[in-house]
Amino acid sequence: MSARCVMVLGTTSGAGKSWLTTALCRHYARQGLKVAPFKAQNMSNNARVVDGGEIGSAQYFQALAAQAEPEVRMNPLLLKPEADTRSQVVLMGQVNEALSSMPWRGRSLHVWPQIAAALDALMDENDVVVIEGAGSPAEINLHASDIVNMRVALHANARCLLVSDIDRGGAFAHLYGTWALLPAEERALIHGFVLNKFRGDASLLAPAPQMLQDLTGVPTVATLPMWWQHGLPEEDGVFDDKTRAAGAVSKTIAVIAYPRISNLDEFQPLKNVPGVRLVWARTPADCAGADWIVLPGSKATAADLAWLRAQGLDRAIATHAAQGGAVLGVCGGLQMLGEALIDTYGIEPMDLGNAPGLGLLPLVTQFDPQKTVRHTHTAFGALHGAWAALSGVAAAGYEIHHGQTAQHPAMAAGGDVAREVLPGGLGWQNAQGNVLGVYLHGLFEDPRVLHALFGATAPTLETVFNGLADFITTHFEPGVLDQLIAP
């Protein structure tokens, strides 16, 4: 195994592991090295289509940053939460029903061989593998069944960075406590502490970094300033309530933030469009004054639809549509906009699959055991009304869904017909022209769609990746990044 392995661990979820891993991937790739990302297990409803199935969105972006083709070995185990105590398990890109029904702790024995094999293969084929951990490595209740943090670090003999979010407070205690709870052989793999999201004068941190090094033998190798707009989506579905429009607000877009929202990362480009303000809506008040209301994807469509009704958001959406306001449904959001959800096979969790929809499109969705996972290149047909700017626009994206949606036969016979605006049953528009539903994820990541809707462009991913690499090059102690991959 030839690769040198660098691993990014965190004292908590949301400490900054994912974007730092992405930055390291681009940093080492810019040195002409062959680089691959790896995360043994990711729990997220943000997923992307790759050859062989689906992986977590973070590893997809990390692969692009590494200038590598994203593939299932980079995230061999993906857990997609469907309820507080249930997740759909995706192993090597494919849904595994047996593992999905297995108790949490019982999975480790079954999945570790595939995880280790995937990591070994990437190490054999690359110069550097940048590994991301999950949560904290010091979750001592889970340590015996660990398959994502220190077991991976030991297997790869990785040089580890431990990151803490100093903006939350208690960062030095988090770093010391995490280090102290690890066994000696695992502590030996920690090569540096990183303080993330720092505001103010870094010189005021003294003498704490040196005191921490005296206690642990581990230096603080970087103090990273707070950076609100690095350009990457949030890995853990953390909603950025501080989103601000660039310049004067000309359009407010409210995205319904139901509990099992999926693929919310596809809306990241909207944050970078001048004049657009993105709002994560959890109450009817959050939708007040919105120009668009967007119903995003969902990992539990019927359950999220029930939640939406319980919040009174169904009435807010209906009122907005009745007044001519633009409504967009994406994947699960499209399904909610129809007349009914039918779940003959019990695909949806908690037996909620059979339910009435919002009735804004004359469509019916049936959930199928066969999951559609694919890249899609298509073009819009003729649209009118609020979405007319998309007429004839070519678009590329991806599909991840169990539902199959079609016209409601009785309503079609009565003359209430939805216009099919994407071929193959991928998109419909209502007769009035203000409600649009599509199965295609990633629309706003397509510059052709952004330009058609807003007359603007957002920063490219290449710009984002290079900005991340420049940032860590500036703020890490000199020589540290090279030392992490030194023989």
Look up 5 and say whether it is catalytic: no
| CA–CA distance, 160 with 341 (Å, rounded to integer) | 47
Backbone dihedral region for residue 82 (phi beyond 0: left; psi -120 to 50: alpha; all else: beta):
alpha
| CA–CA distance, 205 with 207 (Å, rounded to integer) | 6
Nearest to 199 by CA among 223, 180, 221, 164: 223
Contact present, 463 and 457 (Cβ < 8 Å): no
- Per annotation, catalytic residue among 27, 320, 402, 441: 441
- Per annotation, catalytic residue among 5, 25, 160, 331: 331
Token pair of 130 as six digits: 């940048």
- Residue 438 CA to its chain's centroid (Å): 19
| CA–CA distance, 81 with 43 (Å, rounded to integer) | 7
Look up 331 and say whether it is catalytic: yes
Contact present, 48 and 398 (Cβ < 8 Å): yes
First to last CA, the chain: 13
Helix 57-65 crosses helix 17-29 at what angle (to 10 degrees)?
A: 20
Q: How would you label 50-67 residue by residue, b for 16+ Cβ within 10 Å and e otherwise?
A: beebbbbbbbbbbbbbbb
Contact present, 12 and 137 (Cβ < 8 Å): no
DSSP letter for each residue of 180-224:
HHS-HHHHTTEEEEEEEEE-S-GGGGTTHHHHHHHHHS--EEEEE
Q: Scanning the structure block, which residue is given the tokens 């790869």? A: 156
What residues are labeled active site?
331, 441
